[in-house]
Structure 1
């Protein structure tokens, strides 16, 4: 067989037992709205200054 070839007999007669007790995954089971709240003692100006300082650290 050449590169990328496959044996077609392997693709035939694949037995799948669909009566198995397979538990489905519920992707929405632990879904949240994503709300986040926090309190800070710093003013908006202090937080913006801190952010600018953090952004400046990446340039070095």
Structure 2
């Protein structure tokens, strides 16, 4: 038996005992809402702040 070899007889007929009812419900916490950012629509201030952060990283 060389590197990485295995007994193929151990590979067939594998089964797992899975309880499908115990799974995670990804829609359990769904909601339909709105997102609001503090500062309203002050996009220019946010862009300026980002520019300042990028400039300080270059130093």
Q: TM-score, normalised by structure 1?
A: 0.53
CA RMSD of aligned residues (A): 3.0
Higher fraction of helix: 2
Q: 1:13-52 residue pairs with structure 2 within 5 A?
A: 13-17=13-17, 22=19, 23-32=22-31, 35-40=34-39, 43-52=42-51
Unaligned runs of 5+ in 1: none
Show the counterpart of 1:57.
56
* Alignment: residue pair count: 56
Report the CA distance shift for 1:17/1:47 in structure 2 as closer, same or farther (over 3 A): closer
Q: TM-score, normalised by structure 2?
A: 0.54
Cα offset, 1:14, TM superposition: 3.1
Cα offset, 1:13, TM superposition: 4.1
Unaligned runs of 5+ in 2: none
